[in-house]
Structure 1
Amino acid sequence: MAESKSTPAAKSSLVFVFLVVLIDMLGFGIIVPVLPKLITSITGSSLSSAAVYAGWLAFAYAAMQFVFGPIVGNLSDHYGRRPVLLGALGGYAIAYILMGFAPSLFWLFVARIIAGVMGASFSTAYAYIADITPPEKRAQNFGLIGAAFGLGFIFGPAIGGILGEYGTRLPFFAAGFLAALNLLFGFFMLKESLPREKRRKFDIARANALVALRGLHGQNKVVIWYAAALTVWMTAHVVYPIIFAFYAMEAFGWSGLTVGLALACVGIGAAIVQGLLIRVLIPRIGERNAVIIGAISMAASTIVYVVAGPDQGWLIFIAIPMGALQGLFQPSINGLMSQAVSDETQGELQGAVASLQSIASVIGPPLFTAVFAAFTIAGTIYYLPGAPFGLAGIVSLFALAIFLRGYALHCTSGLVEPPPDAKTIID
């Protein structure tokens, strides 16, 4: 075990990286409630058509992350986590400000491309946590990233909804300011987590998702099953950030402020689950059961989105806590994956995972927004704004099936040490 994993400084660093991701997600959350209005004001299109544009904006962002995610992960293995995190934060600041000034859809795409190229802070944050955390505690500490995401969505959308009442573009400038503040904070407070003796030479041949995936496959097959489950899961999970605002405005006529408050409730649930419950539940029930609960939670909640009628917007506030336990899924799998590779390749692992998730983010937004448009556009045969959520629920159960196959291999193959709760599976 590295010395950094057992010193008091490691705990302080964990707090620092949590705050870095929190402020980053706060900026992202601010823009979500006002993005539909910005697109419709720029293009003059309907909400259904604007959703399709939003899907392609998300596609551009994810495509850039797919290309640059593993490059950033490998750079962090060579130069360290700190400079990579700071560079990503600076890119976010530029992208948000550019979105605030964007006079046309073209400039919105330029901004999202910049954010996709530079916004690889999450994979590096996961690697940072892996650097300073013992293997048996990584799943719980990975949950801090989800907690930061949740807290960002408690305050971010609410702030965005309030600021949006005073101007559609104001939240984007606020997000840019927060990203710049985050950069300043990280410059002075964030310490390097990867010792020089554990760094490796940057190899451009390994710095793409497909090569990294082949490398992991050569190491053991367990990681591939887990990575596939995460990819499918993220395809389903992307429905929330890309569709929720459009869905709520179309189905219930909600304002940006109401959307922001609803998303704040989503954030509260995610923060409670990933920041508190995950530390209690995973040691007691194990990663396997945590993943099962997470997938079922999401599938059950999506049913409510599908069946809620025009005058039943209140049902969404029932679906939100129902779906909160889905926050158990990703950190549990990440914890199992990190135990299956060496300390020296944690950055490569998380970079590859980020790119695989980017594949999901490339596929998901155009898919879900196309489904949304097909079921809401004028003259549609069957009007059902919640259709994308129904599809996402089905996909989440497919991800669970893939995970269970990988977990069984983890328990019985002998390729890597079985997880602590594997005895009941083997028996």
Structure 2
Amino acid sequence: MRLLPLLLTVLIDSLGFGLVFPIFSPLIINNDGGIFPPEVSLAVRGLVFGLLVGIYCVGQFFGGPVLGALSDRFGRKKVLAGSMWLATLSYLFGGLGLVISSLSILFLARLLAGISAGSFAVAQSVISDISTKENKAKNFGLTGMAFWTGFVIGPFLGGRLAAFGFTIPFLASAFFCLGNALLILFKFKESLTEKKTTKINIFHGILQIRKAFSMPGLRGIFCVMFVFCLGWGFFTEFSPVFLMRKLHYDVIQIANFYAWVGLWIAISQGIIIRPILKRFAPHSLLRMGLILMALMLPIMLFVTRTASLFLLIPGIALAQAFIFPTAATLVSNQGTKETQGEIMGIHNSVQWAAIALPPLFSGSFVALYPHLPITVGSACMFIAFFIFLKAYNPSQAEE
């Protein structure tokens, strides 16, 4: 199966990311790692947490389009392998930053990790290369399943490894990314048949945002995904603060929460959504996912027990599965074989620009008002839904 090496690559990549993800909120907000002096206020710790989350997203915002364009020029395989080497280095730097209690090194590590994570746009380009219009949505769903399967294992394992020290998950992530680089070199088959010379610009992401909203055929879907990702990013990035303040979660419980979320998103994108895709057009599922997400998130505000929270997650996961693969399909269908790397890089930039913005400015507010990830997230979903109804022409999905 030609898709299998790519799915393994995506799974291992997300496994490495998931290993370290749950530890940042206890590390920074609760100061469990001892990085801050005891007198540092909660508002300041919240600001640093937000910036640490945001710098990763900034890296992916700039990295996605550049890596996508590089993959059009040099091939998918070389760029995927190179990004995994960079990810390995970033996690080693992260472990070093914790050992010597250096926030500057930790920020550098997260920036490099974000740049390397731009490889997901390259993975989506591979899907576009090898898929037909009929099976593209299904293959995007399988890629999402692979990512979230890794994210199930990663947080679950990372939360337990953190009991032996916060540096251990970083070292484990470096090990998995190194293995992923070797897997790509020896098992991945190049999918690009005709290479394209594209000008590489480090500020390509900024230019791509301008280009995204000037493309008549895609402007509507890009606007919808930008607003949706504002809310989704705010919800996923700051949920640990909500869980720690409302349900008094520790690092292992936060890890279990993200593993449970990842499990249901993997099941939804890889299994549940497949027969649904045969009955509904991508734009119909996207519309349905937006309104379901907007309605379900506020229920979390009234949850007082873990069991109730975990019962809610499958519905949120299914709504998410209606959104990301179908949006990627609608975007990909508007491009040609030669421009898939570029167009998926633009799609990646739009999402990561939106995800990067909230943590850069709102960390202190969330630390003081932990309900904000839920209320702001839901509000953005409603806005995205109404933008979709107004701005997106469903006939584009049929072209």
Q: Shift in Å at residue 213 of structure 1?
A: 5.1
| Larger-Rg structure | 1
Deviation at 1:216, TM superposition (A): 5.9
Match of 2:238 in 1: 243
Q: Is the 8 A contact 1:43 1:105 kept in 2?
A: no
* Cα pair 2:13 2:177 within 8 Å, conserved: yes
CA distance in 1, matches of 2:14, 2:293: 21
Q: CA separation of 1:345/1:104 partners in 2, compared to 1, >3 Å: closer, same or farther?
A: same
Question: Residue by residue, what CA displacement relative to the aligned partner does 1:235-288 show, whole Å, maximum 9, x if unpaired?
Answer: 111134421222212211122111111211111110111011221112212212
**1:201 to 1:111, Cα distance in 2 relative to 1, 3 A:** same
User: What are the superposed Cα offsets for residues 165-222 of structure 1, whole Å, 9 maximum, x if unpaired?
Assistant: 2212211111111111111111111111001xx221122369713544565667x512
d(CA) in 1 for partners of 2:213 and 2:299?
39
Query: 1:58/1:190 Cα in 2 relative to 1: closer, same or farther (>3 Å)?
Result: same
Q: 1:205 to 1:96 in 2, by over 3 A?
A: closer
Q: Which amino acid aligns with 2:6?
A: V
1:378 paired residue number: none
Query: Does the 8 Å CA contact 2:17/2:154 hold for their aligned counterparts?
Result: yes
Cα distance between partner residues in 2 of 1:192 and 1:240: 36
Which residue of 1 is the match for residue 388 of structure 2? 403
1:107-130 per-residue CA deviation (whole Å, 9 max, x = no partner) reads 111101212233211100000110
The 5 Å alignment of 1:110-259 reads 110-195=108-193, 198-204=194-200, 208-212=204-208, 220-259=215-254
Matches within 5 A, 1:282-297: 282-297=277-292
Q: Return the alpha-carbon distance in structure 1 between the equivalents of residues 87 and 202 of structure 2.
A: 26
Contact 1:135–1:339 (CA under 8 A) maintained in structure 2: yes
Q: Which amino acid aligns with 2:308?
A: L
Residue 132 of structure 1, CA deviation: 0.2
* Per-residue deviation, 1:36: 2.1
Aligned to 1:61: 56
Answering whether residue 85 of structure 2 is matched by residue 90 of structure 1, we say yes
**1:366-388 CA distances to partner (integer Å, 9 max, x unpaired)?**
3553431231xxxxxxxxx2222
* 1:343-354 aligned within 5 A: 343-354=337-348
Range with bigger deviation, 112-121 or 347-356: 112-121
Distance in 2, Cα, partners of 1:407 & 1:333: 12
Task: Sort the Cα spacing of 1:241 and 1:91 in 2 relative to 1 into closer, same or farther, 3 A.
Answer: farther
Give runs of aligned pairs for residues 97-108 of structure 1, distance below 5 A: 97-102=92-97, 103-108=101-106
Cα distance in 2 for partners of 1:177, 1:392 equals 34
Contact in 2 for aligned 1:63/1:358 (Cα 8 Å):
yes
Aligned partner of 1:387 in structure 2 is 372
Q: Is the 8 A contact 2:26 2:250 kept in 1?
A: no
Equivalent residue runs for 1:364-383 within 5 Å: 364-375=358-369
> Which amino acid in the other structure matches residue 157 of structure 1?
P
Counterpart AA for 1:318: L
Contact persistence 1:338–1:346 (CA under 8 A): yes
Q: Does the Cα contact within 8 Å between 2:234 and 2:355 map onto a contact in 1?
A: no
Pick the aligned partner of 1:355 from 344, 349, 358.
349
In the aligned structure 2, how far is the partner of 1:33 from the partner of 1:207? 30
2:315 is the alignment partner of 1:315: no
Native 8 Å contact 2:243 2:254 kept in 1 = yes
Alpha-carbon distance in structure 2 between the residues aligned to 1:367 and 1:315: 31
Kindly tell me: are residues 206 and 386 of structure 1, through their superposed partners in 2, closer, same or farther at Cα, counting changes over 3 Å?
Answer: closer
Tell me, what secondary structure is at the counterpart of 1:371?
helix
Query: Equivalent residue of 1:285, what SS?
Result: coil
Which AA in structure 2 matches 1:203?
K
TM-score by length of 2: 0.91
Q: How many residues align?
A: 389
* TM-superposition CA deviations, 1:83-117 (whole Å, max 9, x none): 11111111111111211121211111110121223
Q: Distance in 2 between matches of 1:165 and 1:246?
A: 20
Q: Spell out, residue by residue over 1:271-322, the C-alpha distance to the aligned partner (whole angstroms, 9 max, x if none).
A: 111011221112212212211232233223321222234xx34332122122
45-54 or 283-292, larger mean C-alpha shift: 45-54
Sort the Cα spacing of 1:241 and 1:172 in 2 relative to 1 into closer, same or farther, 3 A.
farther
SS of aligned partner of 2:357: helix
Show structure 1 runs of 4+ deviating over 6 A. none
With over 3 angstroms needed to count, the CA separation of the structure-2 counterparts of 1:210 and 1:259, relative to structure 1, is closer
Which position in structure 2 is the counterpart of 1:7?
none
Contact 1:81 1:194 in 2 (8 A): yes
State the alpha-carbon separation in 1 of the partners of residues 222 and 95 from structure 2.
Answer: 35
Q: Which amino acid aligns with 1:348?
A: E
Instruction: Tell me how far apart the structure 1 counterparts of residues 57 and 152 of structure 2 sit (CA, whole Å).
Output: 24
Q: 1:148 to 1:50 in 2, by over 3 A?
A: farther
CA distance in 2, matches of 1:124, 1:36: 29
The CA RMSD measured in Å over matched residues stands at 2.1
Structure 2 residue aligned with 1:381: none
| Maintained 8 Å contact 2:121/2:345 | yes
Q: Give 2:177's aligned amino acid.
A: A
- Deviation, 1:395, is 0.2
